[in-house]
């Protein structure tokens, strides 16, 4: 089985994977809700951090807890907890990002049986010089809480090792992404998404092994498909692999992305320094910001534009989770920025399920527009 098939297997069997890991390693499995959670610290504790994702099914179990004005992702995630699909989790951790997913955490804590919960105060004022020293202290508290819960200390060496494993993971994924700059990328957007999402669901060292395998496979990969227009996918949480596959099936390729199941998750590394907690804190403060942390000056938009140019993007798909206020704030600026740079955009609003019929028409029209522009 090739690497991509392995990724698919992990994604489809995520719950089984985590339970088997538990049985094999005897460690705890900790679910996390937002990419600002410092996974390295959880990993250093000998635990398996796994991202909690939705299932893209309609549901009605969350209406008694979260009203429908909250984003579909946060409701879909809570639904998984309420339905007992994550009953094997030993703990759940959230680092402050947006009020929507925080609502999921609060409801999970109050209504889904779980042993350990932790709500981390991740600063929003990441541009303040106070943010790093503050977050370092918050991480000390978090480390201590994990140690007390787990009954084992987390050593300096374990933290440094975790940093190394995670940095390797990020580097390897960036290596794969580098190949997507090719005129004919050896990997589709859907496959790249599988790679990243699988990494959020499995042991990082195992993921690294598969990434190395993928990097070996890719140069000799011959694709029969035409790459078509080069697209960029921008949004918040995005794990709708099927949607990406369907768009690419219309004759385009997603060559790059900026969302929290893509580059925003892994692009920035930890720069090791004396205190590993301080090093980890610096990484999460300095990483590409999520919109609720991108002020007073914007850092996210310049990064996006840089990526778009480096990857020779010809069209941008702005993926908007319905009711996601933080990302909605960036939409006008994103549209203006791409217009000023002659890159067409298509705005699509998403729910847990996708109206592919209508979307197909719009995407096809968008791709035709791009084709005309190229001519």
Question: Where along the sequence are the contacts to other proteins (CB under 8 A)?
Answer: 63-67, 69-70, 96-100, 102-103, 106-107, 110, 118-121, 123-125, 128-131, 134, 137-138, 141-142, 145, 291-292, 294-296, 298, 322-323, 325-326, 328-333, 335
Nearer CB in complex with other proteins: 80/320: 320
Nearer CB in complex with other proteins: 189/291: 291
Nearer CB in complex with other proteins: 64/365: 64
Nearer CB in complex with other proteins: 11/78: 78
Smallest separation, CB 357 to other proteins (Å)? 23
Smallest separation, CB 185 to other proteins (Å)? 31
Smallest separation, CB 37 to other proteins (Å)? 12
CA proximity to 351, closest of 201, 265, 240: 240
- CB-based burial of residue 149 (10 Å sphere; 0-12 exposed, 13-18 middle, 19+ buried)? middle
Q: Cis link prior to 296 (omega < 30° from 0)? A: yes
Smallest separation, CB 281 to other proteins (Å)? 12
Smallest separation, CB 218 to other proteins (Å)? 38
Smallest separation, CB 77 to other proteins (Å)? 15
Smallest separation, CB 298 to other proteins (Å)? 8
Do the Cβ atoms of 77 and 54 come closer than 8 Å? yes
Nearer CB in complex with other proteins: 36/166: 36
Do the Cβ atoms of 282 and 132 come closer than 8 Å? yes
Smallest separation, CB 111 to other proteins (Å)? 8
Nearer CB in complex with other proteins: 121/356: 121
Beta-bridge mates of residue 320: 349
Nearer CB in complex with other proteins: 103/208: 103
| Cα–Cα distance, 70 to 196 (Å, whole number) | 25
| Cα–Cα distance, 363 to 367 (Å, whole number) | 6
Smallest separation, CB 235 to other proteins (Å)? 14
Smallest separation, CB 359 to other proteins (Å)? 18
Nearer CB in complex with other proteins: 24/130: 130
Nearer CB in complex with other proteins: 182/295: 295
Q: Could you tell me the two tokens for 287? A: 């990483």
Nearer CB in complex with other proteins: 78/201: 78
């Amino acid at each position: 089985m090739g690497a991509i098939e392995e990724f698919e297997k992990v994604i489809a069997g995520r719950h089984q994977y985590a339970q088997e890991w538990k049985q094999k390693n005897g460690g705890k499995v900790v679910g996390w809700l937002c990419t600002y959670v410092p996974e390295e610290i959880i990993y250093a504790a000998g635990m398996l951090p796994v991202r909690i994702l939705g299932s893209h099914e309609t549901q009605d179990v969350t209406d008694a807890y979260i009203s429908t004005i909250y984003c579909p992702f946060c409701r879909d995630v809570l639904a998984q907890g309420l339905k007992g699909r994550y009953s094997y989790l030993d703990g759940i951790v959230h680092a402050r990002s947006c009020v929507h997913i925080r609502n999921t955490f609060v409801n999970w804590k109050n209504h889904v049986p779980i042993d350990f919960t932790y709500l981390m105060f991740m600063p929003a004022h990441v541009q303040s010089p106070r943010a790093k020293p503050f977050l370092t202290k918050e991480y000390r508290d978090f480390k201590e809480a994990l140690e007390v819960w787990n009954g084992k200390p987390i050593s300096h060496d374990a933290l440094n090792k975790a940093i190394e494993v995670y940095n390797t993971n990020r580097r390897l994924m960036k290596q794969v992404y580098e190949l997507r700059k090719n005129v004919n990328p050896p990997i589709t957007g859907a496959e790249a998404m599988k790679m990243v999402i699988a990494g959020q669901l499995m042991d990082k060292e195992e993921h690294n092994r598969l990434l190395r395998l993928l990097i070996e496979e890719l140069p000799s990969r011959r694709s029969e498909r035409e790459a078509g227009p080069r697209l960029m996918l921008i949004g918040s949480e995005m794990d709708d692999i099927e949607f990406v596959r369907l768009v690419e099936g219309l004759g385009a390729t997603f060559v790059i992305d900026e969302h929290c199941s893509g580059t925003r998750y892994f692009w920035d590394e930890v720069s090791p320094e004396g205190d590993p907690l301080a090093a980890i804190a610096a990484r999460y403060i300095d990483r590409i910001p999520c919109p609720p942390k991108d002020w007073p000056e914007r850092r996210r938009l310049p990064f996006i534009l840089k990526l778009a140019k480096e990857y020779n993007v010809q069209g941008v798909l702005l993926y908007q989770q319905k009711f996601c206020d933080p990302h909605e704030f960036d939409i006008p600026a994103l549209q203006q920025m791409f217009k000023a740079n002659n890159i067409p955009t298509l705005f699509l609003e998403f729910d847990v399920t996708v109206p592919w019929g209508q979307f197909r028409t719009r995407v096809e029209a968008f791709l035709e527009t791009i084709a005309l522009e190229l001519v």
